[in-house]
Structure 1
Amino acid sequence: MAAPMAQATAAGTKEAILSAARKFVDFVNKCQSPFHVVEECRTILRAAGFSELREADQWDIKPNNKYFVTRNQSTVVAFAVGGQYKPGNGFTIVGAHTDSPCLKVKPLSNKLKSGYQCVGVECYGGGIWHTWFDRDLTVAGRVMVKNADKIEHRLVRIDRPILRVPNIAIHLMRDHNDKFGPNKETNIVPVLSTAVQAQLEGYTSAKEGEEPKCQADKHPPVLVTLLCKELGIQPQDLLDFELCLADTQPATIGGALEEFLFSPRLDNLLSSYCALQGLVESSGDNGSLTSDPNIRLIALYDNEEVGSESAQGAASMLTEHILRRLSVGDRATCFEEAIPKSFLLSADQAHAVHPNYSEKHEDNHRPMLHKGIVIKFNANQRYATTAVSTSILREVGTRANVPLQDFVVRNDSPCGSTIGPILSAKLGMKTVDIGAPQLSMHSIREMGCTSSVHQSIALYKTYFQEYPSIYNNVNVE
């Protein structure tokens, strides 16, 4: 029997698969927060010749040119305008998200507990919270800084372990292995230092009941000092921040045959990265953009893990606003004409069958690592896939030489959802929900396969290049 890597190379050789996977690992290791994701996307897009736009400005969009725009520094929309594009033509879209379940620092985070200087955190999204125990943690995100009379957004990442959520010893909780379910408010409180050591080194917290004199006083002085040192500012210049806790152990390629991704935030940075690369590669100097009648677009949204209902989420008006701006023409109905010609790939990670919990999967729908990208179906519309949208995707997969798998959740199991149904309903656009298979979804350390990166990029690249011709052969509106 052939090794898994040899079986799964429909989209490329092992060398090509590992090369793509290593680049993705580098991307993940730079992106501990949605703000860092967008900044890294900005760097890649600029290097590929994309021009940055501002929402507040008037746009002058021209065929054969490439652009991107951000919102809240945590959502990015990038697009390449086909050389044959005219208002009323379609949009070829891949949507994904930049956020992942994590712990976030509270607005007033200063906590002293039993002689420990701790940091108050909120649980963001549906994480597997017990996996955050006994990990070497740090913080990353954005800080709003007062610079003279200006308010500036600054990225920050402390590149060493400074926090830890310690487990309780088995001797003190004998049923720990039977029913460990931490209280999210009282048990998931990361330790920053001991109060004694902080005091010895001159860090003095505000006394209980004392009103903070500035924003910095709301947080442990040790944490504030680390942030200010990293940013080169004074505590009084720190206006506010949004900080995610993150594991300091980097993503890596693992397994005896170098076939696995051991990584944080696979959900959903794998989809985001591959969508970005698919757009960049499809819009390079190969001439396909020149003959394209559509606009190729990726939308990487924040806040999917908490329902997408934010100004920068998929449930906002952002997507419609941008598509309308790009559809301005000599007819009032250009946007409405474009929608039925358009297509959305909603890209979010999928559940691979688990070797130790295989009964959790429906017998005939057990996606496997290396076996291809997963199409997600749900009769109750938790996914937006239809027979029409699936048929279009299968044609893309055939042209890309990328295998596809089918997934349906068991009838006695709850089904998650994605941005697919949200955008499909808001825009009235044909949509298919897909994703790369993985294990340990929403753990602090997830597990996927290296071939998914290469397969996803190949699928998205081909989709951007081939969708207009496929659409022309579809007889269903």
Structure 2
Amino acid sequence: NSRLFSPPPMEAAKADVVDYMNAAISSFHSVAEVKRRLKSAGFTEIDERSSWDVHPGGSYYFSRNGSAIVAFAVGGAFDPATSGIILIGAHTDSPCLKLKPVSKLEKEGNVMLGVVGYGGGLWHTWFDRDLSVAGRALVRQADGRLMPKLVRIDKPLARISNLAIHLTNADERSKGFQPNLQSQAPPMIVSALREALWREAKADSASGATAIGGTSARAADENACARHHPLLVNAIAKAMDVDPSDIVDFELQLIDTQPAQLGGLFDEFLYSGRLDNQCSCYQATTALVEAMPSLGADTSVRMVAFFDHEEVGSNSATGAEGPLLCDSIARINAALGTGASDPTGSALRARSLHLSVDMAHALHPNYADRHDKSHGPQLGGGLVIKYNADQRYATDGPGSVMLRRFAALASQKVQSFAVRADCRCGSTIGPTTSANTGIRSVDCGSPQLSMHSIREMMQVDDVLNGVEVFKAAFENFGALATAIDLDTSEPLCPECSADVGWPA
């Protein structure tokens, strides 16, 4: 029955989600993919190291360190005295296993990779997976300059094998697998025997010096082969089509080679790594681009900021704790003509709203007791608004009402989430951004299962739900911004002023 399946336009939208997830394999690749989509939509790339020519009706983007990106579009009716910013914030990083600065490692007749955990991953899910590497390399050019270049190898190169159950001890069987990342997580890439045969063959060839790890003309500390196995460096060089001796260094992580895909009986689910938080980056980017036709009549600045290092605290030059956002707003403020009267952009920020978008915990059918019964978001139930009395989430009443209004205008559902009163609560960039900028923030995100696993799961319709809500936010914030105002001299409840002692 064809009515059980989505119509063709919806299928195209879902395919686009899958394409994005497969492209955004690391924070570096995520920023590159966002850049590609913005450029295709007519956005202009600017450089934060140079002056900005920004004007109403224009759309712009810049990146920092290749792992964080800011994009904004200025409404054609922007008014420096009254307009604000509608900002969507997210993060580009996800828990993973990263290669150590010196990754060369041999154990018991096998060549391994030294790795370290980044963030709070469900590390046992990385075992018995077909793994490879991705990230960024610094490559020496013919003129001596160093240029960054993306690295991605889709071929399975590495594997972290589980210990057979027959060899586990009673303690390991009773307490479950809790891997030691130092001793048990290094993946195997080649046997020492096969590596020795490779070295012997290369030594006999005319190009052996370069293939095995550089020439004497390169200082050891300027050659990646001094710190990483030459076989790995050669594989990376081949993937980038460069000479191995020109690879000075790299920042790589392990990746799952299984691509993102739709699943379930009716292809309703999205199975992928890094849904936290690439899904949010996709939603915000797509909404920003799709809302562009209405920019000319808008009074606000539409903005997205995708930070790095959220999974490890955000305290970096590219993280939400750093100056990236405040610097960006100050420069936009100055470029749009309000710098003299408001040099820091504080008035502009006071008229703004931030939607902090990070994935939410869906109700797990096998662990339903882990949620408060009244706050268990369902897969397919729409965007989740997050609340926490201890300010682990920044959502307040006015912000929540505004977000619900955006959803209503888009004819989309929303849900509410708060942790059980006897559970600790995680956090994200909402409170950090709110504290650093003074901008009212609302924490929200689409529901998912298996958060921080190598392979996560969500309803693909929830991805598209978020796109529609955020598109409505970009299109309607300017008109709705004055509808909710707590900073007023009028009593909030004039008809009750006699009861509470307020002046009539």
Q: With structure 2 as the length reference, what TM-score do the two structures score?
A: 0.89
Equivalent of residue 440 in structure 1, options 433, 447, 450: 450
Equivalent of residue 109 in structure 2, options 115, 122, 137: 115
Q: Does 1:36 align with 2:37?
A: no
Equivalent of residue 150 in structure 2, options 151, 155, 159: 155
Q: Does 1:317 align with 2:323?
A: yes
The 3-state SS of whatever aligns with 2:57 is coil
Which deviations, in whole Å up to 9, do the C-alpha atoms of 1:146-200 show, x marking residues without a partner?
1122110101101200000000000100545432111111001111110110111
- The corresponding residue for 2:303 is 297
The code of the aligned residue for 1:300 comes to F
1:212 Cα deviation after fit: 5.0
- The corresponding residue for 1:10 is none
Q: Does 1:68 align with 2:74?
A: no
Which deviations, in whole Å up to 9, do the C-alpha atoms of 1:327-380 show, x marking residues without a partner?
112533261211121000000000000011111001111000111100000000
Larger Rg: 2
Equivalent of residue 241 in structure 1, options 246, 250, 255: 250
- The corresponding residue for 1:128 is 122
Aligned length: 460
Q: With structure 1 as the length reference, what TM-score do the two structures score?
A: 0.93
- Structure 1 residues 441, 14: closer, same or farther in 2, change over 3 A? farther
1:232 Cα deviation after fit: 2.5
Matches within 5 A, 1:63-462: 63-88=56-81, 89-147=83-141, 148-175=143-170, 176-178=172-174, 179-202=176-199, 214-283=223-292, 286=293, 288-328=294-334, 329-330=337-338, 331-333=340-342, 335-462=345-472
The 3-state SS of whatever aligns with 1:424 is helix
Which deviations, in whole Å up to 9, do the C-alpha atoms of 1:71-116 show, x marking residues without a partner?
0001111111100113352111000011100011110000000001
- The corresponding residue for 1:58 is 51
CA contact (8 A) 1:274 1:460 kept: yes
- 2:130 & 2:330 partners in 1: Cα distance? 46
CA contact (8 A) 1:156 1:227 kept: yes
The code of the aligned residue for 1:107 comes to P
- The corresponding residue for 2:485 is 475
The code of the aligned residue for 2:158 comes to L
Aligned CA-pair RMSD: 1.7
> Structure 1: any 5+ residue segments left out of the alignment?
7-12
- 2:99 & 2:347 partners in 1: Cα distance? 45
The 3-state SS of whatever aligns with 1:35 is helix
CA contact (8 A) 1:97 1:301 kept: yes
Bigger relative CO (Cα 8 Å, ≥ 6 apart): 1
The 3-state SS of whatever aligns with 1:201 is helix
Which deviations, in whole Å up to 9, do the C-alpha atoms of 1:113-164 show, x marking residues without a partner?
0001000011000000000000000101100111122110101101200000
CA contact (8 A) 1:30 1:40 kept: yes
CA contact (8 A) 1:55 1:69 kept: yes
- 2:255 & 2:386 partners in 1: Cα distance? 29
Taking only the aligned residue pairs, the percentage that are identical comes to: 43
The code of the aligned residue for 1:256 comes to L
CA contact (8 A) 1:87 1:326 kept: no
1:394 Cα deviation after fit: 0.9
The code of the aligned residue for 1:128 comes to L
Which deviations, in whole Å up to 9, do the C-alpha atoms of 1:437-458 show, x marking residues without a partner?
0000000000000111110110
- 2:67 & 2:322 partners in 1: Cα distance? 14
- 1:125 & 1:92 partners in 2: Cα distance? 29
Which deviations, in whole Å up to 9, do the C-alpha atoms of 1:43-83 show, x marking residues without a partner?
11111000000011110101111100000001111111100
